[in-house]
Amino acid sequence: MPAMALEIAADGVIALREGGQPVSEPAFALLEGNEITTGEPARKLFRIRPRQVQSRFWDQLGEDEIPGTAFLQADLAHAQLEALWARCSQDVDAVYLVAPDSYDREQLGLLLGLAEDCQLPVQGMAPASVAASTRTAPDRQLIHLDAGLSSFTASVVDQGRQLRRGRQIRLPSVGLDTLRDAWTRMIGQSFVDATRFDPFHDASSEQALFEALPGWLASIGDEPVTLSLDYQGKQFETRVEPYEVIAAAEAPYRVLQQLVSSLREPGQALVVQLSERLAQLPGLAAALGRLGETHVVTLAPASGARGALARREEFARRNGALVLTQALSAVDEPFEASQDDMATPAPAPSSGQENDQRATHVVWRGVAHALNATALVIGTATEAEQGAERVLALPPETSGVSARHCQLRLLDDTAIVTDMSRYGTFVNGRRVGPETRLVPGDVLRVGMPGEELLMIRLA
């Protein structure tokens, strides 16, 4: 009998039978009285009946009640899982679950409980970063990047005898919805400017814009594209430049660059795996490639499900009970980094010896602070621990910043940054070692998204 893998993601579920083609169900649920309708029928009403269509039940899987309804988020997930299983279960005797890396222990337990309640014969469960990783990256650090509706998650995939999930950072408050909303507003305004037609005029035109967006984004390349929208028997067109699309995503892409940089070991080249959701976003792979010595790989749809089925014999149990499988073997050929990747290191501080290449000040929020032999400590602390120190105090609520995060000083007329934090200090987007020389134009970042400081030279 065939096995099946179920890959759970923020925006839906993918079912893949052994030897078959993936079946996708988008994460939408229409609530009508006591009835729940999931998948494509609900998606087609998302903007038309926004109070009745829910879309966050996998992204925020839990037992919280949905305001204004008698349902929990878990109820909607259960309804979709049950409907999908009814469609795909024939002759299946083993199911392997692939869960988002962002899920905590309670969410993983709830997912397993829902599967068992739907009578799925679950034989194993693994995080997406492990299931989707089937290749090693010799002499490089491997990072898996994925997105929820309102979060990004980056996971280091440790490479030894097996591929194992290592350190992980989840960044809340920005995610797929952030990007889609930015692009929707930008394109909507483009229609208004070009035709005076406002796609947000009513619910049906907004739904048409919502449904067209994925196809439009897929069409973005290096040349301008014409976008068409049909509404009430009329066709409206607008022309969009690629740079406009990339500009609308600049802030979230910058956050993703910082997220990857935060996990990068000093001096280490990278392979970054983009999940199917992130692989579809125009310009993101190029933005991450600009980190330098970074090979970006876009994963195909259902990569997690395929990887789980290929190594299903390795899924772990403990004393007969199912446990989360944290490591699986590599089954495909290693990544081969291109010479272009190796030849384009990230912008890095220079050790230039000419006087005009020596930074004398650091600028934060428009104010230049002079550097000298006395250490300038940057962090959330407001007072110096040692009498000779100076302090540049950042806001106490700044995420990812230590009280004494790093210090700047002049050593033989050369600006030096010393990292003293547990979170890391970044120069030009790259994590630096304990001590690094700085020159004018270098951008120093602490925290995430954090604060940026610019190195300059004043005569």
Q: Where are the domains of the chain?
A: 3-137+303-328, 176-248, 355-456
Query: Quick one: what percent of the chain has pLDDT higher than 70?
Result: 95
CATH hierarchy code of domain 176-248: 3.90.640
CA 294 vs CA 143, 146, 159, 348: distances in Å? 10, 17, 17, 14
Quick one: what percent of the chain has pLDDT higher than 90? Answer: 72
Q: What is the pLDDT of residues 89-123, one digit of tens each?
A: 999 999 999 999 999 999 999 999 999 999 999 99
Q: Pairing state of beta strands 327-328 and 321-322?
A: unpaired
- Residue 250: its pLDDT value, please? 86
CATH architecture of 3-137+303-328: 2-Layer Sandwich (3.30)
Instruction: Name the one residue in this structure whose structure tokens are 């979709």.
Output: 80
Are residues 260 and 145 in contact, defined by beta-carbon separation less than 8 angstroms? yes
> Residue 255: which of 420, 404, 145, 417 has the closest Cα?
145
pLDDT exceeds 60 at position 344: no
Residue 272 pLDDT more than 90?
Answer: yes
- Is the distance from CB of 426 to CB of 434 less than 8 angstroms? no
Whether domain 355-456 has CATH 2.60.200.20: yes
Give residue-wise pLDDT tens across range 347-400.
Answer: 444 444 444 578 999 999 888 899 999 999 999 988 887 667 899 999 998 888
pTM of the model: 0.80
Residue written as tokens 């797929």?
176
Residue 434 has pLDDT above 90, yes or no: no
Q: How confident is the model at residue 284 (pLDDT cuts 50, 70, 90)?
A: very high
- pLDDT for 321 equals 81
pLDDT at 458 over 90: no
